């Protein structure tokens, strides 16, 4: 097992230490969050936690939570969540993030906005001084709008492509029935401004720019876990 895998597990464990009995959790997607789900499930099994409910953000997180025997619920039942735990593809010093490589950013952002507290868990390779440095921004686009939306995204200066499936012909389809666009803008000096411009594109449903949601990040390194707070 690589040090990165171990770092993810350590970061996940630190985040799960913030979970208390009786909480309703936002359950993110991805490999690091899957580790947190397993730890929560083990703590429920051992009696260290009780009366936990989770709102999953993807079919993947549903499957992981079911395997861990975490009871699931919905935002209809619990529109305000106690705590959210999720991974990220890139994090800057303000704890702004790029997410969505797994294609779940629409539901992830809805859940993030519903959380009283929102924690990101990553290994240290995901840290950057400036978002977008060697990292695409992931965009969810309605299929009806894919051609004009892609044209507008490229006009904004991005190298952008519609993501194609690896084991089937045609584009990747999200859990919501939409397409994914991977857009490389390069270093993004003002993520909030870019996020606003992208949302002006008709048919572009959501971006992978998560601005101002996280209050804490746990970052696994080769030997320890660092707790980060947003820089002012």
Same domain assignment for residues 95 and 176: no
Same domain assignment for residues 176 and 97: no
Q: Is 107 among the domain residues?
A: yes
Same domain assignment for residues 78 and 142: no
Q: Count up the domains in the chain and report the number.
A: 2
- Classified as helix, coil or strand, 193 is helix
Give pLDDT tens digits for 93-151. Answer: 999 999 999 999 999 999 999 999 999 999 999 999 999 999 999 999 999 999 999 99
Same domain assignment for residues 216 and 187: no
Same domain assignment for residues 114 and 20: yes
In this prediction, residue 1 carries a pLDDT of: 64
CA distances from 114 to 117, 155, 182, 200 (A): 9, 33, 26, 23
pLDDT confidence of 158, banded at 50, 70, 90?
A: very high
Q: Is 130 among the domain residues?
A: no
Mean of per-residue pLDDT scores for the chain: 96
Same domain assignment for residues 217 and 195: no
Residue 232 scores a pLDDT above 70: no
User: 5: buried, middle or exposed (CB in 10 Å: 19+, 13-18, 0-12)?
Assistant: middle
* Mean pLDDT in residue range 69-89: 98
Q: What is the CATH number of the domain that holds 42?
A: 3.40.50.1360
Same domain assignment for residues 109 and 67: yes
* Mean pLDDT in residue range 53-66: 97
Q: What is the CATH number of the domain that holds 167?
A: 3.30.70.260
Domain that holds residue 81: 3-125+211-227
Same domain assignment for residues 50 and 101: yes
Q: Show the tokens assigned to 23.
A: 């909480």
Same domain assignment for residues 201 and 222: no
Q: What percent of the chain has pLDDT over 70?
A: 99
Q: Is 24 among the domain residues?
A: yes
Q: Show the tokens assigned to 69.
A: 């025997």
| Chain centre distance of CA 67 | 20
Same domain assignment for residues 110 and 220: yes
* Mean pLDDT in residue range 70-82: 98
Residue 157 scores a pLDDT above 90: yes
In this prediction, residue 25 carries a pLDDT of: 98
Nearest Cα neighbor of 108 from 190, 22, 208 is 208
Answer yes or no: are the C-beta atoms of 79 and 179 closer than 8 Å.
Answer: no
In this prediction, residue 231 carries a pLDDT of: 86
Same domain assignment for residues 83 and 168: no
In this prediction, residue 205 carries a pLDDT of: 98
In this prediction, residue 223 carries a pLDDT of: 87
pTM given for the model: 0.95
Catalytic residues: 108
Q: Is 132 among the domain residues?
A: no
What is the distance between the alpha carbons of residues 16 and 104, in angstroms, rounded to a whole number?
21
In this prediction, residue 167 carries a pLDDT of: 87
Residues 6+ apart with CB under 8 A from 46: none
Same domain assignment for residues 38 and 60: yes
Q: Is 232 among the domain residues?
A: no
- Classified as helix, coil or strand, 192 is helix
């Amino acid at each position: 097992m690589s040090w990165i895998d171990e770092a993810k597990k350590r970061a996940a464990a630190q985040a799960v230490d913030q979970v208390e009995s009786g909480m309703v959790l936002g359950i993110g997607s991805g490999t690091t969050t899957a580790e947190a789900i397993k730890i929560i499930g083990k703590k429920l099994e051992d009696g260290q936690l009780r009366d936990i409910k989770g709102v999953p953000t993807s079919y993947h997180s549903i499957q992981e939570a079911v395997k861990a025997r975490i009871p699931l619920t919905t935002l209809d039942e619990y529109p305000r969540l106690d705590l959210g735990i999720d991974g990220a593809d890139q994090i800057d010093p303000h704890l702004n993030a790029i997410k969505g490589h797994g294609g779940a950013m629409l539901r992830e952002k809805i859940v993030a906005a519903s959380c009283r507290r929102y924690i990101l868990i990553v290994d240290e390779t995901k840290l950057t001084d400036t978002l977008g440095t060697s990292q695409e921004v992931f965009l969810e686009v309605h299929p009806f709008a894919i051609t004009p939306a892609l044209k507008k995204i490229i006009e904004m200066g991005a190298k952008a492509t519609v993501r194609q499936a690896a084991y089937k012909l045609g584009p990747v389809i999200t859990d919501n029935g939409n397409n994914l666009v991977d857009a490389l803008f390069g270093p993004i000096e003002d993520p909030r401004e870019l996020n606003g411009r992208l949302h002006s594109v008709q048919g572009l449903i959501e971006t992978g720019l998560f601005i101002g949601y996280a209050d804490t990040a746990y970052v696994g390194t080769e030997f320890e876990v660092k707790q980060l707070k947003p820089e002012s």
